[in-house]
Chain A
Amino acid sequence: MWVFYGKTPALRNISLRVRQGELLGLFGHNGAGKSTLIRAILGLVPVRQGQILVNGVPCTGSYLPQLRQQIGYVPQMLNIDPRTPVRAWDVVMMGQYARIGLLRFPSRTHHQAAADALQKMGVLHLAHKPFGHLSGGEQQRVLLARALASAPHLLLMDEPTSSVDWQFVRDLTSLIRQVHQASNLTTIVVSHDAPFLAQLCDRVVLMEGGSILGDLQARDLLTYIGRELT
């Protein structure tokens, strides 16, 4: 599978199989193409010479809206203007809007799902703050709550540890673990933070220059990085 930005290939000949219920790390330096791979799974960039299947359904065309509703996506740092008229609560509700459907209002079940997700992430008390006023870690928790509120079959997280401090990284590790174990949720976590991935994942796939170099057991990642540096 290939992805191009203009004429430049951002992903070259990628082939990857993720098992149901797996907690997979995707490791690579900046510009390796990790975010592009996530965007390709979401159908946000066109894929050439190949295809991506989620539970056997291709991530293109008329399948997309349906498929996207089943994917929880926690994006890379958003840089939301602090004055944006959107509260943390609204952000979590938005995760469910596509599923609720056009011209329909959220029901009590949807409100309950949002409250539960915020509660689980420990940020229910921030629900009525403007999203742009929250710290990096708080935003990250709200975005994770947003992804979970829609009860996804697949969770994609892009650089969840950028712009948060080490304490939050520790909390985040256990939060993701909890979520993954509670529902055997297939999870792909993208990061250039090797210790974080080594802690969190079962298997880690290495990316560089738009290609996949191979995969290894998470516990071997730090040894691999050590060898790469020397």
Chain B
Amino acid sequence: MTWVDIWKEEFMLRAMLATALSGVACSLVGVLVVTMRLSFIGVCISHAAFAGALVGLHFGISPLSSALVGSLLAVGVLGPLADRGNLSPDTAIGVVFSASIALAFLLLALLPGPKSEALSWLWGNVLTVTSDNLRVLGYVAGGIVMLTALFFKEIQAVIFHRELASASGLPATAIFYGVLVCSGAAITASLSAIGGLLVFSMVINPAATAYQLTYNLRNLFVLSAVFAVMAGWIGLALSVLFNLPSGAMIVLISTAGLLIAITLSPKRTGGKS
């Protein structure tokens, strides 16, 4: 099979679809998380989701559902802390973060037999995404695109200043928790494709790249999604051509994109809008 033929294979089309869907879902919540300064909460959510997936494997529950529960637990603990805003959530984030990792490693050690399935949640593999997972990714990506479009103006007001948005009569708290729950969903759905260790860069990198280049929120969402899908496909192609791990390649490509954007950024030099 030559590398031209490989693109005609069904598993390859599925991998491309999975990359694109997870890229769109993660990059949109990435814009929200980056502009609302919630990056660290996002990191915690992704590790809690990973720990949740291992809990599922351990007890024979669907890892996808238990990962979602894990991420929502992190949202439930950290959301109110960041929400109150009057005490620094750093400590709580550190505690949740390390506890998730510790739990994940403990379960990894306790799992009987070969650990390849558990490890696949750590590294991820876009080439082995199941149909079920693909369907979930589709729903999550579609849902996030729709919610972002429908509540665009409220989201923009909350990004600008949460208390001010609240004071003007907007449901700022609902938007805030909505963003956190969407982050949990996007991360969970992408977990098996990208892996628990790497999924968070799918969230941050494209958004941070776009953030260097525009002051317009609408463009920020669009650019971020475009970068995510591009990085995803280029990384996927390289991983197939050179037989390298796909998640790692995707993340490295998106990191390279971010570095290029930082050197070209008009914002870095204080340039005009």
**Residues of chain A whose beta carbon lies under 8 Å from any beta carbon of chain B:** 5, 42, 44, 64-69, 71, 73, 75, 78, 80, 82-87, 90-91, 93-95, 97-100, 102-103, 106, 128-131, 133, 150
Which A residues are CB-close (under 8 A) to B156?
86, 90, 94
Q: Is the CB of A87 within 8 A of B215?
A: yes
Chain A binder among B41-49, B147-155, B235-243: B147-155
Chain B, residue nearest A43 (CB): B167
In the complex, A156 Cα to B170 Cα: how many Å?
17
In the complex, A133 Cα to B273 Cα: how many Å?
9
Chain B, residue nearest A90 (CB): B156
Q: Is the CB of B164 within 8 A of A75?
A: yes
Which B residues are CB-close (under 8 A) to A80?
160-161
Q: Is the CB of A150 within 8 A of B168?
A: yes
In the complex, A71 Cα to B217 Cα: how many Å?
27
B62 located at the interface, meaning its Cβ lies under 8 Å from any Cβ of chain A in the complex: no
**One of A44, A85, A94, A131 near B157 (C-beta < 8 A):** A94
Q: Is the CB of B164 within 8 A of A84?
A: no
B35 located at the interface, meaning its Cβ lies under 8 Å from any Cβ of chain A in the complex: yes
> Are A98 and B168 CB-contacts (below 8 A) given A103-B150, A130-B215, A130-B273?
yes
Q: Is the CB of A131 within 8 A of B160?
A: yes
Q: Is the CB of B154 within 8 A of A97?
A: yes
**One of A83, A102, A103 near B267 (C-beta < 8 A):** A83
B214 located at the interface, meaning its Cβ lies under 8 Å from any Cβ of chain A in the complex: yes
Which B residues are CB-close (under 8 A) to A90?
156, 160, 217
> Are A86 and B167 CB-contacts (below 8 A) given A102-B151, A102-B154, A128-B273?
no
In the complex, A78 Cα to B151 Cα: how many Å?
23
Q: Is the CB of B211 within 8 A of A85?
A: yes
In the complex, A83 Cα to B271 Cα: how many Å?
11
CB of A52, distance to nearest CB on chain B (Å): 14
Which A residues are CB-close (under 8 A) to B211?
83, 85
In the complex, A78 Cα to B161 Cα: how many Å?
8
Could you say which interface size class chain B belongs to?
20 to 34
Chain B, residue nearest A97 (CB): B153
Chain B CB within 10 Å — which of A44, A64, A85 has the most? A85
Given contact pairs A44-B166, A98-B170, a sample of 4 additional A-B residue pairs in the complex whose CB atoms are under 8 Å apart: A5-B86, A69-B169, A86-B215, A94-B157
In the complex, A82 Cα to B273 Cα: how many Å?
11
Total A-B pairs, Cβ < 8 A = 87
Which A residues are CB-close (under 8 A) to B159?
84-86
Q: List 26 A-B contacts (CB under 8 A).
A: A5-B86, A42-B167, A44-B167, A65-B171, A68-B168, A73-B167, A75-B161, A78-B161, A83-B215, A83-B267, A84-B35, A86-B156, A86-B159, A86-B160, A90-B217, A91-B160, A93-B153, A94-B156, A97-B153, A97-B170, A98-B168, A98-B169, A102-B151, A102-B154, A103-B150, A103-B151
Q: Is the CB of A94 within 8 A of B215?
A: no
Q: Is the CB of B168 within 8 A of A95?
A: yes
Which B residues are CB-close (under 8 A) to A73?
164, 167-168
Q: Is the CB of A129 within 8 A of B168?
A: no
In the complex, A54 Cα to B167 Cα: how many Å?
15
In the complex, A100 Cα to B152 Cα: how many Å?
13
In the complex, A86 Cα to B151 Cα: how many Å?
16
B165 located at the interface, meaning its Cβ lies under 8 Å from any Cβ of chain A in the complex: yes
Which A residues are CB-close (under 8 A) to B160?
80, 84, 86, 90-91, 94, 131
Q: Is the CB of A85 within 8 A of B220?
A: yes
Which A residues are CB-close (under 8 A) to B214?
85
Chain B, residue nearest A85 (CB): B217
Chain B, residue nearest A71 (CB): B167
CB of B243, distance to nearest CB on chain A (Å): 40
CB of B158, distance to nearest CB on chain A (Å): 10
In the complex, A68 Cα to B273 Cα: how many Å?
32
Which A residues are CB-close (under 8 A) to B116?
none
